[in-house]
Amino acid sequence: MLWEMTARIRLHSDTHIGSADDTSRATADIAPLDRDPATGRPRFRATTLAGLLRRHLAERLGDERASAVAELFGEAAPRSAEPGPGASVPSALDIDDAVAELPPEAGVTVRAGNRVDPGSGAAAPGAVWRMETLPAGTAFTLTLRLHVGEGQSEGRLLALAALAADGLAGTGPGVSIGARTARGYGAAACEGWHTLRHDLGTPRGWADYYALTWRQRRDRAHRAVAERCRSRPGARETGLSALFSERLETEPALAAAVGADYSRTLADYGTDDRRRDELALTLHLAERPTDALLGPADAGPDAHAHRPGLLLVGEAPGLDTLGEVDRAHLRRPAVGGDGAVQWRPTLGDTALFALFKRMSRRLVRDISGESGAAAGEWSDDSAARRLHARWWGGDADVQSAPRASAVRLRRAAELTGGTPQRTTRVTIDALFGDSVDASLLTDDVHAGGSAEVVLDVPDPDDAVRGLLALIVRELHTVAMDAVGGGTGAGHGRITVSRAVLTSRGPGADAEPVDLVAAVDDPASADRAAAESWLAALRTALAPDAGRRRSADP
């Protein structure tokens, strides 16, 4: 028995799928995309997709059910095993490379960035990176074949394949593609699936598959999934498991053949064993005035209103403004609800993540009593440094490779609302107080607006929850840190109006805690939860401090 499964996925943020051939990078110092050597078009390798799906299924099932992962994706023989035909288990899934279909509104872009110094918040000298990226709106048509061998359960393999493929659904912390996924790169969502079953034991089933060439079968599958997506414009596919369930309900013969094993496998393995938290934030490009904190509570809504601010996450000016401005605020393609690609201002990816990381670094140093030490003297043995590096990644210098962070930005934050503005400024001489000749700078910045941001935290503990509560408190009151360029002139002030931390675990209901309510209402249950997390944070950073009374979040 053989199943053809075809999916169409669309990228929802910039994505870099790197190339194993580093020749072009050696000459231009730009990390290139992986490309088809015959056509030069960007591609999504089958080995990359197989690795992403395997990892998603392994994380979902956990170590205790790793044998099911090997059953679907195969298993290499251990080094000590005797060579022979039974030493390795082949994969039941066969996957083809997929070629990128770029949207007409955007093309491949070279994104340039600079690592942010964790102490000062400024760009670290010499820490520049450049890489080719695929824009949001890029589509891939994925082709997978599931081979059911003699003695294997067709329904069981279908269920395992569906659980693995559901990572592409685009809901929750599923599969992210390529590099820098912790900074919001590589977000993708499936738009549609098409499946076709071939019974190779019958003449008709054999001819339907083998009478066509590989290219003819691929084109047939691509047309079918494209037609399904066109018939449901703007709709998002819920997953391969939903499509299989739909077919089992409408096809009695299929249900009789595989339905029992399929349902039994979903019952045994359908529970998501991952422990994870997600922090959903509504961020505003604005700041709270002092009156909002010190004035009376009944001063009226205008006294507590946010004051819009300016933001500059710099990039080179566009062709239409080249020669008129020195820097422009970052705008990137974004996929709208109807599937159309639009250019929108962004709150940033690297810059926004660096803001959270910098705030965490300062907070843990303050709590542990190590804030007086210079940035370069922060001991590697410090409990505060170990906790910070575990969740936000290490503070690597230019010569060393950065360490991965556990906290992940689900996707780049798009700004909604606000207006673009052009600002002009001059440099003031520090000695005489007048303007410096030939120092006129013109920037295209963004004023006001809001963004929805989600942080994913795998395998969380109460200490990191307390740290997130403190970050929300700072952003909700008077933040000491800002994002982007021009922060010394008041740019980049961010305020949070909504922050809900939701804990999810195997077999447990979601437990949301409103962190903004925890800050504003001392008598709330949210405050009580946050206080226990803060106690755990202090214990993790300084064991003696854990016995003191909890401070307000």
Digit-coded pLDDT (tens) for 234-274 = 555 568 888 898 899 999 999 999 989 999 999 998 888 88
Residue 252 resides in a domain: yes
Residue 325 resides in a domain: no
Q: What does the DSSP 8-state code read for residue 168?
A: G
Between 128 and 385, residue with greater pLDDT: 385
Q: What angle do CA 220, 225, 231 make, to 5 degrees?
A: 125
Q: Residue 141: which of 204, 68, 228, 60 has the closest Cα?
A: 228
| 73-82, 85-94, 263-272, 499-508: least confidently modelled range | 73-82
Residue 84 resides in a domain: yes
360 and 485 share one domain: yes
Q: Tell whether the torsion through CA atoms of 359, 392, 278 and 532 is positive or negative.
A: negative
214 and 285 share one domain: no
Give residue 193's region: left, alpha or beta (phi > 0; psi -120 to 50): beta
Mean pLDDT to the nearest integer, 49-75: 90
pLDDT at 3 (0 to 100): 93
pLDDT digits (tens, 9 = 90+) for 162-213: 999 988 887 678 889 998 888 889 999 998 899 999 998 899 999 988 999 9
Residue 324 resides in a domain: no
What tokens appear for 451 in the block?
A: 């963004």
Residue 431 resides in a domain: no
Q: Which domain holds residue 235?
A: 2-16+55-102+138-269
pLDDT at residue 277 is higher than 90: yes
200 and 290 share one domain: no
Q: How far is CA 292 from CA 165, 228, 288, 449, in A?
A: 48, 52, 6, 19
146 and 264 share one domain: yes
Dihedral Cα 358, 361, 362, 368, nearest 10 deg? 170
Average pLDDT, the chain: 84
353 and 453 share one domain: yes
Domain boundary among 269, 297, 328: 269
The span from the CA of 54 to the CA of 48, in Å, is 10
The span from the CA of 123 to the CA of 142, in Å, is 39
395 and 536 share one domain: yes
Beta strands in 58-186 (DSSP E): 93-95, 98-99, 109-116, 123-133, 139-147
The span from the CA of 41 to the CA of 113, in Å, is 24
Name, of 277-281, 305-309, 323-327, 362-366, the range with top average pLDDT.
Answer: 277-281
Residue 121 resides in a domain: no
pLDDT at residue 550 is higher than 50: no
The span from the CA of 543 to the CA of 522, in Å, is 25
Domain boundary among 215, 245, 269: 269
203 and 281 share one domain: no
The span from the CA of 549 to the CA of 369, in Å, is 17
259 and 369 share one domain: no
204 and 247 share one domain: yes
pLDDT at 481 (0 to 100): 85
Q: Facing residues of 311 across strands? A: 446
82 and 230 share one domain: yes
168 and 309 share one domain: no
Q: Residue 526: which of 476, 465, 475, 474 has the closest Cα?
A: 465
Residue 191 CA from chain centroid, whole number: 18
150 and 291 share one domain: no
Which phi and psi angles does 497 have, rounded to 5°? Answer: -110, -15
Residue 438 resides in a domain: no
Residue 373 CA from chain centroid, whole number: 33
Q: In total, how many domains does the chain have?
A: 2
Residue 442 resides in a domain: no
